[in-house]
Structure 1
Amino acid sequence: MSMIGEYARLTPAELDRAMHDPDWAQEFVDELIEAELDATPKASEARCHDVDKAWHALDFLLRRIDFPVDIIHGEEGIPEAEDWGYGPPRFLSPERVRTAAETLANTPHEALFEGVHPVDLAKAEIYPTIVWERGESLDYVTTHYQALVSFFQAAADTGDAMLIWLD
């Protein structure tokens, strides 16, 4: 079983409802994901997005540069939310999404990877370690980072909050 980093954009009203009714939130997000499965919208147009198994490498790289927002795990919990895979979802407020989007826009992927090689990820035991132990390219992480930049920018442009979880 894989650990996948997942995201869902919510309007402030949807986030408010999710805070008071976490069961509704899970059903709502499941419906959003289902609706986008066949359409496969671009990251800038999607309500849901995932970074596949790149989440841990992205977390490692963002922490190295002291990124101001935890865009990998979220920053606040949803009261009484149940496990959505590997724990309950967390969220970022619209203000934190905007801060993240601005910082992402000013952080080219080259800055994220400066001085980092696959062997560094293997030594740090970054999931999935077998990928880094084989010395595979960081292009996989770059592709997910660039899509995440677009996804966050679209969310910030519309004033959305963000649900974040590992599934």
Structure 2
Amino acid sequence: MKKVKTKQMRRSLLFGSFIAFLIAISPYLFYLYENFPESKTWETSLFTLEVTNYPDVYSAAWYFVSKFIPLYLLLLWFFTCRHWWYHIILIPIAMYAFQLFHVINDDVEYIDETEIYYLIPIMFVIIPIVYIIRVKLFDKLVHGIDMKKLDQELEELDMEEEHFSK
């Protein structure tokens, strides 16, 4: 029994250390844009990158990492968060995902202007779900109301009502 617990603790420590490492390297990942050239074209032995919507490759890389790193950190937070409200993190994740898509997409003229309109339907779904979770937790913890028992009682009342109506 003790050996299993130590094995779980070791896994938890390794996983936590890996997550801490991913968070710790985020500033270094952000500043990778400084290695890109300040020209419209970047040629390497593997590929050639030419930017059209940005002044130079350096600026395009800066826009990319300024959207990617917050998305990266929010995803880490979402997948490691143990709080009941963690679904609400999906809203800023969606915002940065839309912004990153617009940075990568060459057809978009403006960046960071229309993403809020794409978020509205996502917010209409996520916010009520989080609120329902909050209400259920609040009722159970504060008022001691068990929603399963309440649902069973309502079903019994419905069955009795059906029986009397026949």
Common topology (TM > 0.5): no
**Does 1 or 2 have the higher relative contact order (CA < 8 Å, sep 6+)?**
1
In the superposition, the TM-score normalised over structure 1's length comes to 0.27
Instruction: Name the one with the larger strand percent.
Output: 1
For the pair shown, the structure with the greater C-alpha radius of gyration is 2
- Relative to total residues, which structure has the larger helix share, 1 or 2? 2
